[in-house]
A and B are shown apart, each in its own frame.
Chain A
C-alpha cells in the first residue's frame, strides 16, 4: 500500500467519526423524550412509542438508509448521502438510546421513588435530582458499548456513497486488487477507533461512580 492510498483511506476517518458522532448526539437527545413517552401512563402515547421503537429496531440499518436516501430521495426530499446517513443512523440511535435510558431507569431501586415521595419532591425535582443522575450511571457504559456498535454500523453508509472509511477501502481495493491488506487495514482502523471510546467510557463510569456513590 502506498502512502497516497493510505492517506486517501485515512481521509475517511473524519467522515466516519462525523456520521457516528452526529447520529449519536441526535440519538442521545431524542432518545430521552422517547423513553419518557414509552413509559407514559397515557396508553395511546405509550403504545405508539413502543410500536415505533420496535419497528425501527426490527428493520436492519441498511434498509433505513436506503428508505431515506433512495425512497424519500426519489419522491419527496432529496438529501445528500451524508445527511441521509446521519438521519438514518440518528433515527436508529434514538430508539436504541431510548432502550438504554429505559434500562437505566429500571435499574433504579423502587425505594428511591418512595423516598422522594415521602420527602414531597415535585415530579421535576424527582427526575432532575434523583432519577436522571442514577439513570446516567447505569446508562453510560451501555451507551459507550452502543457507540462502538454504531461506529461499526456506520460502515454501511459506504453503500450509498458516503466517502467514509469502508467506502474508500472498497475503492482502493477495486483499483489495486490488493483487497486482503486494504480491508485488513480498514478493519483495524475501526478497531483502533473503538479503543478511545471504551477508554472514555471507563473514565466516565469511574467519574460518575465517585460522584453518585452508593
Chain B
C-alpha cells in the first residue's frame, strides 16, 4: 500500500481538491447539457424510425445505428479532430457535448422506442375508435404512458453518460480524469490522484444507482395497478 500511495500526505490531497472540484463541475456540466440535448433528440429518433416517409425513417435508423455502433471515444475524436479537417473547428467543450449528445440521442431513442412499444395496443385502438388524431393520441395517451415505462432506464443511462464524460480526457477537456492525470503526472502521485477521481465517481454513481432501482420498483408497482 505504501508503494502505491508513494508517501502522499493529507496536505497534498487537500491541495488537489479545488482542481478536482472544478473538474467534477465540468463533468457534471457536460452530462447535463448532453442529457438536455440528447433525450429530446432520442425522442425525435424514436418517432423518426416509425414514420411512413422512407427517407426520414432510413436517415433516423442510420443515425441511431451509427450513434450506438461506433465507440463513444471515436465519435468524440471524429467531432473534435475530424470536423476541423472539413473546415469546421469547435472548442473541446462544445465537441464533447456534441458527441455525447448524439451518443445519448441514439441510445435513448431505443429506450424511448421500447417504452412506447410497451403501451398496450388497445390504448391506440381506443384512441382511434374515439376519433382522436394520431398526434393527439401520441401526446395525451401513448407518450405519457411510454415515458413512465422508460424513466428508470433513462435514469440508468444518465449514470452512464456521467461516466462517459471521462472519455473527454482524450480531447483535453479539463474534466475529472484530466485533472487526476495532470496531478498524477506532475507530482508522480498517479495512484492517489486517480483514486480521488474514483471517489468522485463512486460518490455520484452508487447513490444514483439506488435512485434507479427505487424508480424501477416504483414503475413496477405502477404497472401493477
Contact = CB atoms under 8 A, between A and B. Distances in A.
Interface of A: 54-55, 57-63, 66-67, 70-76, 152-156, 158-159, 166, 169-170, 173-174, 177-180, 182-184, 186-188, 190-191, 194
Contacts of A59: 163, 198, 201-202, 205
A58 B166 contact: no
Given A66-B181, A166-B71, A159 B86 contact: no
Contacts of B166: 60-63
A2 to B, nearest CB: 16
B1 to A, nearest CB: 9
A73 B181 CA distance: 14
B99 to A, nearest CB: 11
Contact of B201 (A63, A75, A152): A63
Given A66-B190, A72-B4, A179-B85, A156 B73 contact: yes
A66 B176 CA distance: 13
B140 interface: no
A166 to B, nearest CB: 6
Contacts of A75: 3-6, 190-191
Contacts of A156: 71, 73, 167
Contact of B78 (A54, A57, A158, A180): A180
Contacts of B77: 166, 169-170, 173, 179, 183
Nearest to A73: B190
Interface bracket on B = 35 or more
Given A63-B177, A72-B4, A166-B74, A58 B191 contact: no
Nearest to A178: B85
Q: Which of A66, A152, A174 counts the most chain B CB atoms within 10 A?
A: A66
Nearest to B198: A59
B71 A190 contact: yes
B74 A54 contact: no
Contact of A183 (B78, B163, B190, B191): B78
B70 A190 contact: yes
Contacts of B6: 74-75
